[in-house]
Structure 1
Amino acid sequence: MPSAIRVHETGGPEVLTFEDVPTPAPGPGEVLLRQHACGINYIDTYYRSGLYKAPTMPFTLGAEGAGEVVAVGEGVTLFKVGDRGAYSGAIGSYAAERVYPADRLVPLPDSISYEQAAGMMLKGMTAQYLVRRTFKVEKGHIVLVHAAAGGVGLILCQWAKALGATVIGTVGSEEKAELARANGADHTILYRTEDWVKRVEEVTAGAKCDVVYDGVGKDTYPGSLDCLRPLGMWVSFGNASGPVPPVPMLTLAQKGSLFATRPTLGTYIARREDLLATANDLFAAISSGAVRIPVNQRYALKDARKAHEDLEGRGTTGSSILLP
């Protein structure tokens, strides 16, 4: 019988339980995936803690993974048994096997490993839409990336640098600063010991930034706004430190007619054509060498609790995956 990580009540990492579950059967339009790797993301902690409401209780955590199609449901023509696939979307990925809608699964090229895919589908496609669509990064832009040594952060730094931007990253330690610099950051700021808003002004010689990519949330507001030049964009795409309080619209005017947005990957890949375009652009960036996916932590599926403790304790860098 396959295994999965289940949550019966919301709370800390201790609520994650490793259980045997029945083999699911794919329904119409679905495939059954035997997963080779499952991605771990900060959003998983939001569902586990109850900050985000899960669709059912109990539930299986996780929103990305990669594996092999082992059965197809009625009407499925996009995939056949033996095909490789990867996804980011509906929760339920912390499992050895899972069913998934065929039209939300992406064909995985042979050049991309299952571990790479599981470590990048959510984070990589998030980075793709952030630098290619939410704010189109171009040569000469100055970009600030918070949590620059994190899963999305390392990919953002690489991609923005490849597009010709000057990249500034905030990090929590000198070790993480070295990692960020090795992945494209031109300047790093230790946010725990430095006045990072002042440092941004210094390293940009007063010019400040065209865009701030902020996955941290409460702790970086309103400082992120103070790092922007007039008409700059604040992209708040996560709440690792807690939700951002309500932002007065007049504040945006007073700080230079700023733009602010709270995007989600789900909106950007809602149509299958956008899903495929986003994923294929990501695959191309990896194949070209412009972006590398650092999978720096690997855990057995049964050790999901330890993975969450490490993640929330700021003890991880790059991508983390579970191995069923």
Structure 2
Amino acid sequence: MRAIRLHAFGPAENLVLEEVEDPRPGPGQVRVAVRAAGVHLLDTALREGVQGPLPQPPDLPTVPGREVAGVVDALGEGTSGDWLGRRVVVHLGFAPGGYAELAVADAARLHEIPANLDFAEAVAMIGTGRTTMGILQFADLGPGSVAVVPAAAGGIGTLLVQYAKHAGATVIGLAGGPEKTARVAANGADLAVDYRDPEWPAKVRAHLGGDEATVVFDGVGGDVAREAVALLGPGGRHLVFGWSGMSPHDGDGIPYLVEGVSQQVLGPVMMEKAGGDDPVRTLELRALAQAAEGRLVPAVHRFPLAGAAAAHRALENRGTTGKVVLEP
């Protein structure tokens, strides 16, 4: 099979397409003929070998990627034959292997793909969709809410805008550049503004006409988030789930707090709130159900498998819209 391999930590160019041996499923596993593989910003940090708050970098050489969708084409010992030939999506956990034409996964982690989703959309929902469901547990959105979504053209941002509108909230979407702000507006935001414009906070305040934001969904950190938090009124919530606008070496130190505003850094607490024996799977099921019912429609930015390096560069340079996937 063809796969993307990483032999040395470093720049995106270190991701190379190679011919490797086909994997074989073990007991309780299946093999998936991959039609879409998710690419995450975390993958770019692992590719560089970044230490610190991130998971331990993988042993090399490795095939990156932890989210795949495709068709089950082989079964391991003891795996139900019902899976053979079915369209499935699965998060591989911390085991790599997704950037490939074939991947092995535990049968217990599989989800059948809803009929109205293609493979790339399914990957988006068990990755960014799962995270979105985790974040929304802390949002308490409804009529009268005013939600500010930085990075609103991204994978999570797109879903947050849709969910907030469905809940009856007023939604302010922030994005970089006219193309992305146009996407945010088309996605349903009440106001889409370019955060590269130094006057964007004034434009938001003028639109709100004296009202104040009630929640900021912060996945970027940095100056954009600082300005967004200043829009919150007393009792507002600053939900932090990432810092793509900051260096991964900056860790989780968020250097701005506003009196009267509650700040919560989301991470393992999302799993704790989801509860159950398998909270990750609980959130995946919620995300797929939202998509199956048409309430959430993921945005997808597609690259060919051979374009893995280009996909990483685009993510690092904020040149993507929606969930990034590789399609073998």
- Give the TM-score band, short-chain normalised: 0.7 to 0.9
CA distance in 2, matches of 1:270, 1:4: 36
CA shift in 2, pair 1:63/1:117, >3 Å: same
CA distance in 2, matches of 1:300, 1:100: 22
Deviations 1:123-179 (A, max 9, x none): 122222222x13232222111111111121112111211111111111111221111
Aligned-pair identity in percent equals 35
CA distance in 1, matches of 2:326, 2:98: 10
1:35 offset after TM fit, Å? 0.7
Q: Which amino acid aligns with 1:108?
A: I
Contact 1:225 1:255 in 2 (8 A): no
Question: Which of 280, 286, 305 is the matching residue for 1:281?
Answer: 286
Deviations 1:197-244 (A, max 9, x none): 444444333432221111112343533432322222222212212246
Q: CA RMSD in A?
A: 2.6
Deviations 1:42-84 (A, max 9, x none): 2221222233332322222222220112223334349622222
Deviations 1:79-119 (A, max 9, x none): 62222211234343111111112222222223322122123
Q: How many residue pairs were aligned?
A: 318
CA distance in 2, matches of 1:177, 1:84: 34
CA distance in 2, matches of 1:127, 1:70: 30
Deviations 1:236-266 (A, max 9, x none): 2122122466246xx64x5214132222698
Report the more deviating stretch, 67-76 or 270-279: 270-279
Task: State the TM-score, normalized to the length of structure 2.
Answer: 0.86
Contact 1:169 1:188 in 2 (8 A): yes
Question: Which of 187, 191, 195 is the matching residue for 2:195?
Answer: 191
Paired position in structure 2 for 1:130: 135
Is 1:222 equivalent to 2:197 in the alignment? no
Paired position in structure 1 for 2:319: 315
CA distance in 2, matches of 1:60, 1:270: 32
CA distance in 2, matches of 1:239, 1:219: 11
Q: Which amino acid aligns with 1:43?
A: L
Q: Which amino acid aligns with 1:74?
A: E
CA distance in 2, matches of 1:95, 1:78: 24
Contact 1:38 1:119 in 2 (8 A): no
Helix, strand or coil at the partner of 1:117: helix
Task: State the TM-score, normalized to the length of structure 1.
Answer: 0.87
Contact 2:238 2:261 in 1 (8 A): no
Helix, strand or coil at the partner of 2:83: coil
Question: Which of 97, 102, 105 is the matching residue for 2:110?
Answer: 105
CA shift in 2, pair 1:247/1:154, >3 Å: closer
Q: Structure 1: which 5+ runs fail to align?
A: none
CA distance in 1, matches of 2:211, 2:271: 32
CA shift in 2, pair 1:247/1:41, >3 Å: closer
Q: Structure 2: which 5+ runs fail to align?
A: none
CA distance in 2, matches of 1:265, 1:12: 32
CA distance in 1, matches of 2:209, 2:26: 59
Helix, strand or coil at the partner of 1:65: strand
